[in-house]
Amino acid sequence: GAGVSQTPSNKVTEKGKYVELRCDPISGHTALYWYRQSLGQGPEFLIYFQGTGAADDSGLPNDRFFAVRPEGSVSTLKIQRTERGDSAVYLCASRPGQNTGELFFGEGSRLTVL
């Protein structure tokens, strides 16, 4: 079956622009996570959804970052007024349900802010 799909795989933008990153989780997975990974670092938690609602958004760095999952499946991470420090790989993962902690990751969206 299909894994977690993230688009675009690469995005280059200019400082100050708006960016959207999309994640298609594995079908039937109820939980969806966003992480950010900078070079040489571990994935940094941003937010996770249980169904349509954000169960924990404590990792979003500031109010320029926002994520939605309106129908409990696809999610979009939105970054306003991008800054050079936002450059990173944004990873999405999904989890089947409450009985397992295994996260299934996509290959990430590499964001470069010039």
Partner 1 sequence: GESVGLHLPTLSVQEGDNSIINCAYSNSASDYFIWYKQESGKGPQFIIDIRSNMDKRQGQRVTVLLNKTVKHLSLQIAATQPGDSAVYFCAENSGTYKYIFGTGTRLKVLA
By the rule CB under 8 A, 88 interacts with partner 1: no
By the rule CB under 8 A, 113 interacts with partner 1: no
Query: What minimum distance in Å lies between the beta carbon of 97 and partner 1?
Result: 10
Q: How many residues does the chain have?
A: 114
Among 86, 95, 111, 113, binds partner 1 (CB under 8 A): 95
1 by Cβ neighbours in 10 Å (0-12 / 13-18 / 19+) ranks as: exposed
By the rule CB under 8 A, 79 interacts with partner 1: no
Binding to partner 1, residues 37-56 (CB under 8 A):
37, 39-45, 48, 50, 55-56
By the rule CB under 8 A, 1 interacts with partner 1: no
Which residues of this protein are in contact with partner 1, per CB under 8 A? 4, 31, 33, 35, 37, 39-45, 48, 50, 55-56, 58-59, 89, 91, 93, 95, 101-108, 110
